[in-house]
Amino acid sequence: MSAVIKIDTKQYLQDELSREIRHELIAGELHAMAGASKNHQRIAGNLYIALSQHLKNTDCEAFTADIKVKAGSNFFYPDVLVVCDDSTENEYYTDCPVIIIEVLSRSTCQKDRTTKRFAYLNLPSLLEYVLIEQDFVDIEVLRKQDNWKSTHYFAGDIVQFTSINLNVAVADIYQRVQNQTTTIE
């Protein structure tokens, strides 16, 4: 088991620019980020492309896993996020995402469903939090307008991103993904 490293926010932000391995800062402690699987990258990439194309002539912009989200005193690296009115003056993080998307894995699922969820849902700008299983077809969307109640989407469904007026087929999100439920080409 690795030792817990305590660090202040200023030092974290400075050190993170030169680290080879990315770290999230949770309650003053560094947490190293593991590498992602091909399926994980396929899902995140498919969504990033759909979001970017939909948002290309708007004030909103999609980002991938290299942009941090500041939630309280924590810093996280979501897999995909959308920002519409970024007043954050830092080029490496934002504190005003509209949508946050996490692709779940066995090693991150618990943190994504608890620690990150509670931190993210307290962001005033956040309108949708999306959790996507990579080992089987299940997309969970929590919306602020629905008091953060979960809506699940499965194979054959169309996912609605109401905050940016975008609908995406589950098949398009899972394109080329191979998992225990099905392989969607």
Domain boundaries, the chain: 36-173
Name the architecture of domain 36-173: Alpha-Beta Complex (3.90)
- Look up residue 71 and give its two tokens: 């939630």
Mean pLDDT of the region 27-56 = 94
Task: Give the count of beta carbons closer than 10 Å to the beta carbon of residue 154.
Answer: 11
pTM: 0.92
- Supply angle C-alpha 27, 100, 62, rounded to 5: 125
pLDDT, averaged across the chain: 92
pLDDT above 50: residue 103: yes
Mean pLDDT of the region 54-60 = 96
Cα 8 vs. chain centroid, distance in angstroms? 24
Give residue 41's pLDDT band: very low, low, confident or very high (50, 70, 90): very high
Give residue 4's pLDDT band: very low, low, confident or very high (50, 70, 90): low
For the chain, the C-alpha Rg in angstroms (whole number) is: 16
- Look up residue 43 and give its two tokens: 């899902």
Name the residue with tokens 């509670």: 118
Can you give the pLDDT at residue 43?
A: 97
Give residue 182's pLDDT band: very low, low, confident or very high (50, 70, 90): low
- Look up residue 86 and give its two tokens: 């970024």
